[in-house]
Chains A and B, each alone.
Chain A
Amino acid sequence: EPEVTQTPSHQVTQMGQEVILRCVPISNHLYFYWYRQILGQKVEFLVSFYNNEISEKSEIFDDQFSVERPDGSNFTLKIRSTKLEDSAMYFCASSGSSGGTNTQYFGPGTRLTVL
């Protein structure tokens, strides 16, 4: 069964450093998403991406964040200058074809720890 994969599973970084989180969405999906989950809290939407453009973003997704699809398979989230409050699980998700229902499949997540 196709699945979303994410690397690394755990990333530890110093405050102020840049991090790049990587995702490989399900291969025939066209829509890609990033969410985050602070420990013990709900899952929060960050951004959605379609046709090499951001479709929608939340107020969490400020200028420190960027997304990119550098090739035909990877989808990345970059945090330019990490803050302590960026520590969270980051989940990538993907969904299918244009016009279809918004059935999003999530990856296993990357745990980001900012020291």
Chain B
Amino acid sequence: DTAVSQTPKYLVTQMGNDKSIKCEQNLGHDTMYWYKQDSKKFLKIMFSYNNKELIINETVPNRFSPKSPDKAHLNLHINSLELGDSAVYFCASSRPVDGFNSPLHFGNGTRLTVT
């Protein structure tokens, strides 16, 4: 299936731990994103990569570090997890060369719970 896939789907961990979320897309898209959706359901952009290069880096703590080994992968590493990091994290991709109205394709999300 062509899709955006992210793992794991659920992640429960303790404060202070370090964790990673992986994302892969086989849609041939050039741009990938990480979004955070909090309990109030706002989607907030965290990072965006275009062809492995960082193009959007919103004001997020530097405990969050994205890594894009190639344009089909964008992973998110989080150091020293805090309670406030609990949220659903969505990976997404798009193909801006088709125009900026190219819609986002989202992964199924990773529900992170920090205890």
Do chains A and B stick together as partners?
no
Please give the residue numbers on chain A whose beta carbons come within 8 Å of chain B beta carbons, in ascending order.
Answer: none
